[in-house]
Amino acid sequence: MSAVTLTINDRLVTAAAGETVLAAARAAGIDVPTLCYVDGLSAHGGCRLCLVEVGAGGRLQPACFMPVAEGMVVRTDTDRLAEYRRMIVELLFAEGNHVCSVCVANGNCELQDAAAATGMDHERFEYTYPKRAVDASHDRFGIDHNRCVLCTRCVRACDELEGAHTWDVAGRGAGAKVVTDLNQPWGESPTCTSCGKCFMACPTGAIFRKGSTVAETDHGRDRLQFLVAAREKKQWIV
C-alpha cells in the first residue's frame, strides 16, 4: 500500500492511499467533528459536520468521504467551517423537536455534544415543530422520531453489523424518516433480532431503551466498537 503526504492545517501528514481525510486527520491527532460517522460502519456523508476545506480555493468536502491525495492541502479549522458547522447543528435542532432538559439522552447525546463543541449558544432558525410520532411497540426499545436526525447510524449498524437490515429510510426531504421493515410498527417486525445495536449506534435519544427516564440513557457505544474490532480484526478486547 503506497503512502501519500498531504498538508492538514499547515502540518505534513502521511496517510495510506485510499484512506479518507477524516482517518488521516484523526490518526495525526487532528480533531474533525462528526455526527453520522461511526468507526467500523460505512460512511454516509449525511450530516456534513466533518466538512473541510480542500485546495487553494477552499472547496468544501466531507472528510469522511474525501480520499487523501499526494500534495493535497486541507484545512479543518477555519472561521468559515466553524460558522457552517454551528449552522448545521442549529438546522438539526430547528428541524426536529429536541428538548434536552426532558430527553432520555440528556448528558449522553452526540447532538448535544456537537452543539456545545460548535458553540451553539442559541438557535437562529425558526423551529419547525414537526408533528412526529413515538413508536413504543417493541418489547425492549422505542423510537422517538422527534429526536431523530436521520444520520442512518441505526440503518448501517443493523445492516452491516447485525446483518438483519430491519431499519431503512422511507420518504423524501422533510418527510423522510427511518422505518422498520416495510414501515410497520417495530414490535411487529419479523426481521428485528432485538440485539440493540441500533440503540448503541443512535447518537441522540431517538432510539431509547424502554423504561428509560430522563437523562438515564447509556448507549454503551464501547460495545459497538468492541463488536467492530472483533469482527474486522478478530480482536476481542474489552
Partner 1 sequence: MADRIVIDPVTRIEGHAKITVQLDADGRPTEARFHVTEFRGFEKMYEGRPFWEMPAITARVCGICPVSHLTASAKAGDQILAVRVPPAAVKLRRLATWAQVLQSHALSFFHLSSPDLLLGMDSDPARRNIFGLIAENPDLARAGIRLRQFGQRIIAALGGQKIHPAWVVPGGVRHALPVEEREWVRERLPEAKQTTLTAIGLFKGLMEKFRAETEVFGKFPTMHLGLVAADGSWETYDGAMRFCDADGTTVAEVAPARYQEFIAEKAESWSFVKSTYFKPRGPAGVYRVGPLARLNVCDRMGTPLADREFIEFRGLGREATNASFLFHYARLIEILCSVEKIEQHLDDPDLQSAHVRAEAGVNSPEGVGCCEAPRGILFHHYKVTDDGLIRSANLLIATAQNNLAMNRTVTQIAKHYITGRDVPEGILNRLEAGIRAFDPCLSCSTHAAGQMPLHVELVGPDGEVVSSLRRG
Which residues of the chain form contacts with partner 1 (CB under 8 A)?
A: 101-102, 104, 133-137, 139, 142, 144, 187, 210-216
Least gap, CB of 139 to partner 1 (angstroms): 8
Least gap, CB of 206 to partner 1 (angstroms): 13
CA separation (Å) from 16 to 2, 75, 105, 178, 198? 6, 19, 37, 35, 31
**Closer CB to partner 1, 67 or 187, in the complex:** 187
Least gap, CB of 111 to partner 1 (angstroms): 18
CA separation (Å) from 118 to 50, 81, 89, 126, 154? 12, 10, 8, 19, 24
**Closer CB to partner 1, 147 or 153, in the complex:** 147
**Closer CB to partner 1, 206 or 224, in the complex:** 206
Q: Which three cell numbers stand for residue 113?
A: 455534544
Rounded Cα distance between 206 and 213, Å, is: 13
Rounded Cα distance between 89 and 73, Å, is: 26
Least gap, CB of 224 to partner 1 (angstroms): 24
**Closer CB to partner 1, 125 or 129, in the complex:** 129
**Closer CB to partner 1, 40 or 187, in the complex:** 187
The answer to whether the CB of 112 falls within 8 A of the CB of 93 is no
Least gap, CB of 134 to partner 1 (angstroms): 6
> What count of other Cβ atoms lies within 10 Å of the Cβ of residue 102?
10
